[in-house]
Amino acid sequence: MRYRVLGGTGMEVSRYCLGTMMFGSVGNPGHEDCVRIIHAALDQGINFVDTADMYSAGESEEIVGKALQGRRDDVVLATKVHFPMGEGRNRGGNSRRWIVREVEESLRRLRTDWIDLYQVHRPDHTTDVEETLGVLGDLVRAGKIRAFGCSTFPAEEIVEAHHVAERRGLQRFRTEQPPYSLLARGVEASVLPVVQRLGMGALTWSPLASGFLTGRHRKGRPVDLGSGRAALTPARFDPTLPVNAAKLDAVEEFVRLADQIGCTLPELAVAFPLAHPAVTSVIIGPRTLQQLQDALKGAALVLDDATLDRIDEIVPPGTNLYHPDGAWRPPHLADPARRRRPSADDRAAA
């Protein structure tokens, strides 16, 4: 396993990061089994673990906390805040009120006195980014977190946050966590160049594109839309939809490419993001020990220029074959009222 410095923080992290979204009721409900997976990852040189408060409603953090007892000092531990935790108002978002409260809950579940990287899971357009940066800086000074970053922020919002921090004398986001895979390359257009220009670290997620790059989903094979991950988001897997048909066509090309260079499709998929100079670490999110072992087989794989050129032919740089973030949409896209001028304004102008 090789290591890189995370966004100028001085913390050295493994090129692969263990993501724990699948630990708990949403994926693998067996706590002891998940602990074994975490220990296996650490034993193979991974020293970077990423979780979030909302993964299985806090259960993932509890599993990680249990697994790291006696090994905490050897791990760079990352978690996130933003999504609602429970019913009621003011139990989510990026406000000072919520972050101050929720960081304590994460520390309790993780059984630790500090978090190495605390990430804002998504933008919150009801909260001024100055408010968010201010409270995160206070948490650094209080010793509760060591550094902070953002996750799945558009490039313009990363730049805005950087400028606000500079103007107000605040600490700034040190990392960004975007989705990035062979099938979702949109972040190459602006997010990754901005991250690189600002000296931030990038830890990318979903290298297997929600399972499409595992080899399980192939063109012409039947899909059970009533079970597993497909039951949660059937529109993402229904092969009759044009967006999914395009993904399946690309998968066939990538399978042929992997065969030509002597690796498996998952190995090709997890090696690809690391070819970009802006990427610090790639998050792999196994549900089982076998999935972890399969993903790490590609850890030593380095893609040459000819392979990368062929990847560019299959899915052009900066192109998304699907919308990779199903958990959040910008308010100006999700709310039609933000994109439509009231008809009364037109009558008044006339």
Active site residues: 55
> What's the rounded Cα separation, in Å, for the pair 27 and 246?
27
Q: For the chain, which ranges sit under pLDDT 70?
A: 224-232, 326-327, 343-350
> What's the rounded Cα separation, in Å, for the pair 25 and 55?
9
Task: Give residue 27's Cα distance to chain centre.
Answer: 17
**What is the pLDDT at residue 223?**
76
Which of the 8 DSSP states describes residue 179?
B
Q: Degrees (nearest 5) of the Cα angle 102, 119, 52?
A: 60
Enter the tokens of residue 125.
């357009």
**What is the pLDDT at residue 35?**
98
Q: Which residues contact 3 (CB under 8 A, 6 or more apart)?
A: 12, 13, 14, 15, 47
Counting every residue, how long is the chain?
350
Residues 3-349, CATH architecture:
Alpha-Beta Barrel (3.20)
Spatial CA neighbour of 158 closest among 131, 118, 129 = 129
**What is the pLDDT at residue 226?**
66
